[in-house]
Amino acid sequence: MSPEALRDHVVAAARRHGFHRVGIVPVEPTRRADLHRAWLAAGHHGEMAYLATPEHLAGRADPRALLAAARTVIVVALAYGTDAPPPPAATVRGVIARYARGTDYHLVVRDRLQLVAGELAAALGRPVASRVCVDSAPLAERELAERAGVGFVAKNTMIIAPGLGSYVVLGELLVDAELAPTAAPARDRDCGQCRACLDACPTGAFVDAYVLDARRCISYLTIEHDGPIPVELRPRLGAMIFGCDVCQEVCPYNAAAPGRHPPAIELTPRDADHAHPDLIALAAAGANQLRRFVKRTALRRVDRRRLLRNVAVALGNSGQPRAAAAALALLAHPEALVRGHAAWAVATLVEAGAVAAAAAAVALAEAARVEVDADATDELAAARARVAACAPAG
């Protein structure tokens, strides 16, 4: 088969396997590796030290570091995009980012790309050396997606596929065969004068258009970040316990896109309760229940302590009296990180008038009496001071 015939064959196969966009580019060194290095040098990657390792930088600089024989990259986009209306608020609800409301996209995209690789091998009549990448390997995927014509890099750093919006996950298939490139569409769409996402970000995480300081991003703070969430940012998390969609929700490209491309069935919300989980139930859940909650979803990326840290913050931010018992119960959680954030939540609920200061003061004093962890002790001291400031004089 000619490279052109192989291209057409693979594009048809990828479409048949449900991908909404497919683009093909030859393997070559990355053109904008310097931008990534500057981003790292500014420390915007936070605790994600793996982004600065020699292995990671090598992969981002040239896909052949991931597969020496690679000659072509097949880039795909799969839409997730649907919302799940929250169930009636009979409890305190959290919010899960839209991409994580169905089956784990890593699994869905990987499985489909493996089928595409199989079809390429069948067409060639030989085994194909290939590697599937779905956020699983260092690759300059946004540059590849742009070069392949899948979409353009937007000011919020996401890929926007015209006609589809940014509610897409990307995947790449490196192969050792030569396929003709797909023609990249003229770059006739971009963000123009819009800056809605930059202004809407709850934590001010954009240093500038196209430049995100991950250390302030709710997606990073709730998923990648392992330690305490900076106190000044906690109120900005609202009910978000895994990821954040704000800079996509305000985007006009997404407002124009819904409904035109039904999302991948596996990536549709599992159910409304999963998209907007009951925080009181999560706070009380045992290890098995939490395992079931995250099973086969992207939430597998956070461990129990991080998830409950996030739940504690969201309980505090709810300002609801019915969140009080759950927040108070987390003061006795086995994980110090959770206990510390529960102390913050209790004080926040007191300040919101959702818990009586006197009762909270007693609970926090008892927690402080038995606390052995230094960070949790500091959190408790800060919470007690806030609660004391709320107590009626006299």
Site for ligand SF4 in 128-157 (CB under 6 A): 154-156
Choices 58-66, 104-112, 243-251, 283-291 (CB under 6 A): range interacting with ligand SF4: 243-251
Of 62, 83, 111, 135, the active-site residue reads 135
Question: Is there binding between residue 196 and ligand SF4 (CB under 6 A)?
Answer: yes
Q: 51: closest CA among 62, 37, 64, 65?
A: 37
First to last CA, the chain: 88
The site that binds ligand SF4 (CB under 6 A) totals a number of residues, namely: 23
**Closest approach of ligand SF4 to the CB of residue 367, in Å:** 30
Query: How far is CA 69 from each of CA 23, 33, 131, rounded to the nearest angstrom?
Result: 20, 21, 10
Nearer to ligand SF4, 222 or 318 (CB): 222
Token look-up 């956070």 returns 302
The single residue among 173, 205, 324, 387 that binds ligand SF4, judged by CB under 6 A, is 205
Q: What angle do CA 364, 366, 367 make, to 5 degrees?
A: 60
Measured from the CB atom, the residue of 34 and 208 that comes closer to ligand SF4 is 208
Read off the tokens for 133.
Answer: 């990448």
Compute the least distance from the CB of residue 250 to ligand SF4, in Å. Answer: 5
Shorter beta-carbon distance to ligand SF4: residue 200 or 390: 200
Q: Using the rule CB under 6 A, is 173 a contact of ligand SF4?
A: no
Q: Is 212 in the site for ligand SF4 (CB under 6 A)?
A: yes
For residue 211, the minimal CB distance to ligand SF4 (Å) is 11
Which one of 48-56, 192-200, 275-283, 301-309 is the stretch in contact with ligand SF4 (CB under 6 A)?
A: 192-200
**323 lies in the site for ligand SF4, by CB under 6 A:** no
With contact defined as beta carbons under 8 Å apart, do 210 and 222 qualify?
no
Name the residue nearer to ligand SF4 (CB basis): 28 or 226. 226
- Round to whole Å and give the CA distance between 172 and 355: 50
Least distance CB 345 / ligand SF4 (angstroms)? 20
Contact call for residue 251 and ligand SF4 (CB under 6 A) = yes
CA distance 313 to 307: 10
Asked whether position 276 contacts ligand SF4 by CB under 6 A, the answer is no
List, in order, residues 6 or more apart from 236 with CB less than 8 Å away: 202, 203, 218
Furthest-apart CA atoms within the chain: distance in Å: 88
Question: Secondary structure of the chain: what % helix, strand, coil (to 5)?
Answer: 50, 10, 40
The CA-based angle 182-115-294, given to 5 degrees, is 110
Beta bridge partners of 165: 161
Is 273 an active-site residue? Answer: no
Q: What are the residue numbers of the active site? A: 135
